Amino acid sequence: MTERRPEPEIVFRSPSHRDCMDARLVLESVGIANEMLQQSGDWCLAVPDDQVNAAFAELQSYRNDRLAETKQTPPSKAVVFGGSIAGVVYYAIFIVSVAVLADTSAYGIDWKAVGQMNAGDVMNGEWWRTITALTLHADAGHLLSNLVFGCVFGVLAGRLLGGGLAWLAIVLAGALGNLMNAVIRDAAHTSIGASTAVFAALGILVAHAMHPRYKTSTKALVRWSPLIGGVLLLSFMGLEGERTDVLAHVTGFVAGTMFGWIGCRLPETWLSRGSFQMVVGVITGAIVVGAWVLGAR
């Protein structure tokens, strides 16, 4: 007696050949025999009658997985806060002014001697050197490099936090980076330059990219990609040159991520107020000027 084979039944239909092939791969991956055919201009998959329920279940599971992957919360438009251009203008004016004052020994002061970051002096209580050192540079090339990159990263950070708060975070993170550098180095170590603050600004950008103000349903690799990019940029920009203080760049970057994480969690209503940004900007300037007053007394 001949055994009667189950009649095939169509379980999938689509005008797209590619969609039909994808569905076929799903069924074949779990061992469900199928046949692809055309009916009325559509591509169809037919399976034996005794495997219809299993085929429908696998295809539905596949559709659910696809839906979960593509369903994302509509991205909120990122808010750009004001003052970013004003912040970098004041930054440029300040570090160029200090360069001129230092080169001319203005007011009879040896600006580099009283303002450079000396690890031993910092550890003995001269904390202001962690700030004044950020405004000093070895030569015109050193100044120009930090002027360019500082303005680029400063504008970007200012758009995320507002010009006033961004530069307060950059200055404090740069100072913290110098302090960490002083703790690790021997007492005779000295350094100058805004690069510690520049890499702090980069750290602020990375912190915001990793933990944005508006949550998204991105995968872990995507969320961590800004950190990877920041480390690569740090290695490209901050690890070359005979006089490069690599550790200061690293500590500035680390400190920047810390301040960036905090800054990006402050209430949006604060950051959007021009008065708040102005007050914070004035405080930032006062901190830097006050550090120089302490150093020059």
Q: Which residues pair with 39 in a beta bridge?
A: 42
Confidence (pTM): 0.71
Distance CA 217, CA 210 (A): 12
Can you give the length of the chain in residues? 297
pLDDT at 1: 45
Q: The domain 84-296: what is its CATH number?
A: 1.20.1540.10
- CATH homologous superfamily of 8-63 equals Hypothetical protein rpa1041 (3.30.70.1530)
Q: What are the 10-residue block averages of pLDDT along the chain, 297 residues in total?
A: 63 90 90 89 90 91 80 59 94 96 93 95 96 95 92 93 96 98 96 94 88 58 58 61 78 95 90 94 97 93
- Give 86-143 pLDDT, tens digit per residue: 999 999 999 999 999 999 999 999 999 999 999 999 999 999 999 999 999 999 999 9
Single-letter amino acid, residue 11: V
Residue with tokens 């004035």, as numbered in its chain = 282
Domain residue extents for the chain = 8-63, 84-296
pLDDT at 6: 56
pLDDT at 236: 62
Sheet strands side by side (includes 42-48): 8-14, 42-48, 35-39
> Which CA distances in Å does 188 have to 38, 119, 120, 184?
82, 6, 6, 12
Residue with tokens 């469900």, as numbered in its chain = 32
Distance CA 2, CA 230 (A): 71
